[in-house]
Chains A and B, each alone.
Chain A
């Protein structure tokens, strides 16, 4: 298939449709607004449903309703809007429903800025709403990867009956890149595959009536739900960690970075190589499950002196990197909170400083 030039947000929307998503509920907020805009034009063309909700709170609850019917459904927003969705996301996770949530992150806290950020890493990977739960969190570093991960997100959500999040920074959403789109996929709700879905029931039916619910009033029942969820999370951690490594051969240092920041780090690594300094990169693609082993293996490789984690925030993923390395080697952090993108020059300076120490 031929490559076409597409803006990240629009590519995300089209990729969702091609993954079989026919239901979208959202609310405008920069820098993700092109997602609902695109959906509002595209969904009617293919007999899908685009609905502008009255708020992000309503949008995520509409997602809950549609997800309970078994269809492929998604919502998208940016940081302040995703904060509003947290109540609903917790209910969806607890009700064991699949759906996809997009967060095209902008600067925070508060109303913050409309520039790119990675400030919602903690919120996305540690739960976000109340209770013990996890989202499957995928972090693209290019528009093409955002497209590819959309299909993965829907498949994983269905496979594990768990909400999945695409955590992109504002640059991925706003940038245009040449991409290849996957084939269009139709998704039919199969009551055999989703026996829990509310697809209609009458007395005498073989299956039980659907009860989509997250209330478990006795400690025994709630413990049982939590044990079921934790067992599922363990399964996801075992099977679904995704990452990329770059220039690891003979590396003196390893950089850990994800999303757009990882591309800046790659540029820094290429330039350092010209200067005879070998630095590797480990780039988590799934932020949850965090690719612990891969990060640890990269940092623990022979010849690697230390790790530098670079983020577009005040230092969030670095905590997971430190947990993975568990004190075996130094893990440093470099980044800016407030949407000021770290430059390749700055990353190079950091590596050079670490070399001298």
Chain B
């Protein structure tokens, strides 16, 4: 019998703990496939966040670290500086990266740290049960913004990709979504580019992936994807915000 499809070897056989319809699982698979396709498994070192992806170290089939909440870019810096040939990536949520770890991500980008960051923006703190994140949309109800996010009180959501794109050391920044097959293919290409950027020594690279949290949004997986399309994509436009990989070509 001919084998037509095989699961990537970059994922272990452990069963994902993610909720049904959560896009964390899709993102894991894309990252894992890219690492395998690029032949980087032996060099790969991942840093898991504190957030729903905290158990990522059980899923990615390579050397893995579990970082404190928000500190993954600093941990990745320590790994990369001590093993410059390694392929180091962080996988972080929006609370992790845009709130408690804002300083660490900004400075990793600013140093042009040769790491790849996968930034999973689901506009909420998933793991702790749906509190407001810095990326929560204005008017969006969460357990700590029960009347909807009030712009006058909490400010507007942070657009991380746009912010990091202003930093000199950032070499590749793209925002993607997983709402259509075409966009999933685009997301994988972006992730590949972000890893290529690291391995060719160009600098810091990040792919922001707009992601659903059906559980804490209180929507079915299908409704959640629709909500993402109608509410998140208009505020968080998809596209490439920085690309230094073309320079010198």
Interface residues of A (CB under 8 A from B): 23, 25, 49, 51, 53-55, 57-59, 61-69, 71, 73, 87-88, 91, 95, 198-203, 209-215
Contacts and interface: CB of A to CB of B under 8 A. Distances in A.
A263 B78 CA distance: 38
Given A49-B82, A65-B82, A69-B82, A202 B41 contact: yes
Interface-central residue, A61, A87, A210, A213, by most chain B CB under 10 Å: A61
A225 to B, nearest CB: 13
B107 interface: yes
Nearest to B60: A209
Nearest to A63: B78
A87 B65 contact: no
A70 to B, nearest CB: 8
Contacts of B107: 53-54, 58
4 nearest A-B residue pairs (beta carbon): A65-B78, A61-B74, A62-B78, A198-B63
B68 A215 contact: no
Given A57-B104, A198-B64, 9 more contacts: A49-B82, A54-B104, A54-B106, A57-B74, A59-B74, A66-B78, A68-B79, A69-B82, A211-B58
A61 B42 contact: no
B77 A62 contact: yes
Nearest to A214: B66
Contacts of A198: 45, 63-65, 79, 83
Interface in B173-202: none
B41 A203 contact: yes
Contact of B78 (A25, A57, A95, A209): A25
Contacts of A64: 65, 67, 71, 74-75, 78
25 contacts: A54-B103, A54-B104, A57-B74, A61-B67, A62-B81, A64-B78, A65-B47, A65-B74, A65-B76, A65-B81, A68-B65, A69-B82, A71-B82, A88-B68, A91-B67, A91-B68, A95-B66, A198-B83, A200-B43, A203-B9, A209-B61, A209-B63, A209-B64, A211-B65, A215-B66
A200 B75 contact: no
Nearest to A212: B65
Main secondary structure, interface of A, reads mixed
B54 interface: yes
Contacts of A23: 78, 81-82
B171 interface: no
A280 B108 CA distance: 53
Which of B45, B74, B106 has the most C-beta atoms of chain A within 10 angstroms of its own C-beta?
A: B74
A210 B82 contact: no
Interface in B76-91: 76-83, 86
A135 to B, nearest CB: 17
A202 B36 CA distance: 11
B204 interface: no
Contacts of A88: 68, 71
Contacts of B41: 202-203
B57 interface: yes
B63 to A, nearest CB: 4
Contacts of A59: 74
A67 B75 CA distance: 10
A337 to B, nearest CB: 31
Interface string B29-59: 0000000000001110101000000110110
B62 interface: yes
B208 to A, nearest CB: 21
B65 A67 contact: no
Given A58-B74, A61-B74, A213 B65 contact: yes
A61 B41 CA distance: 24
Contacts of B43: 200
Given A65-B74, A203-B61, A210-B63, A58 B103 contact: yes
A200 B103 contact: no
